[in-house]
Copies of this chain bind each other. A is one copy, B any other.
């Protein structure tokens, strides 16, 4: 059974918060920000922010700080959020619907392209602008050009089965909102931890076979 280790996971957990704050700061029209100020407005120790920002590899200007746009780019790169991630939502119950309505996904580069459910009441209906497809048709609809990620919001009893279907069509990332640990083949990354207040995905960085935030990979 292989495992993946998440490196710098505390830093990775904080990164989305920096990103969120920076996006807010950019909206205010600010062009530069110092770690001093960022630490102050986020309630995090200065040295922590400094170390985290340093990890992105960005160069700052002494006495001035970092260019906001540039820092946003560096953090996105660090998190692997710079490219667009296409996603399919599997299960559009209460939580799935809330996720579908989360209007900051585009900001983070996540684009939900399709929505599936097994409830005949929902199939064919349009929810938040997305037509709901029958989950039984997932192979037929997605295997030609699978999205990067499946967001699993089905009840726990169906989660494993649905995850396997997702893997079968070639999906490589699973964001698992169900209550169970999913067993998927090696190479598929299952993310089970979520940071609310941002609904941020935790980026997974591979390492060797050591401990950390694990997912069983079989």
Give every chain B residue within 8 A of A177 (Cβ-Cβ). 196-197
A184-205: which have CB < 8 Å to B? 192-198
Give every chain B residue within 8 A of A95 (Cβ-Cβ). 98, 102
Given known A-B contacts A43-B181, A97-B98, A216-B43, A197 and B176 have beta carbons under 8 A apart:
yes
**Which of B43, B181, B194 contacts A196 (CB under 8 A)?**
B194
The residue of chain B having its C-beta at the shortest distance from the C-beta of A48 within the complex is B211
Alpha-carbon separation in the docked complex, A214 to B183 (Å): 33
**Which of B42, B104, B192 contacts A181 (CB under 8 A)?**
B42
Given known A-B contacts A94-B97, A95-B98, A98-B98, A197 and B214 have beta carbons under 8 A apart:
no
**Which of B42, B44, B104, B211 contacts A45 (CB under 8 A)?**
B211
The residue of chain B having its C-beta at the shortest distance from the C-beta of A196 within the complex is B194
The prevalent SS among residues of A at the interface is loop
Q: Is A26 an interface residue (CB 8 A)?
A: no
**Which of B178, B193, B197 contacts A192 (CB under 8 A)?**
B197
Q: Is A172 an interface residue (CB 8 A)?
A: no
- A194 smallest CB distance to B (angstroms): 4
**Which of B17, B45, B214 contacts A43 (CB under 8 A)?**
B214
Alpha-carbon separation in the docked complex, A176 to B198 (Å): 10
| Interface flags, A15-30, vs B, CB<8A=1, else 0 | 0010010000000000
Alpha-carbon separation in the docked complex, A126 to B198 (Å): 28
Give every chain B residue within 8 A of A198 (Cβ-Cβ). 179
Interface pair A20/B94, CB less than 8 Å apart: no
- A177 smallest CB distance to B (angstroms): 5
Interface pair A214/B45, CB less than 8 Å apart: yes
Give every chain B residue within 8 A of A3 (Cβ-Cβ). 43
The 10 lowest CB-CB distance pairs between A and B, nearest first, are: A43-B216, A94-B98, A194-B196, A95-B98, A98-B98, A94-B101, A192-B197, A177-B196, A176-B197, A179-B197
User: Can you name 8 extra interface pairs (CB under 8 A) apart from A3-B43, A94-B98, A192-B197?
Assistant: A43-B215, A45-B214, A93-B101, A94-B94, A95-B102, A97-B98, A194-B194, A194-B197
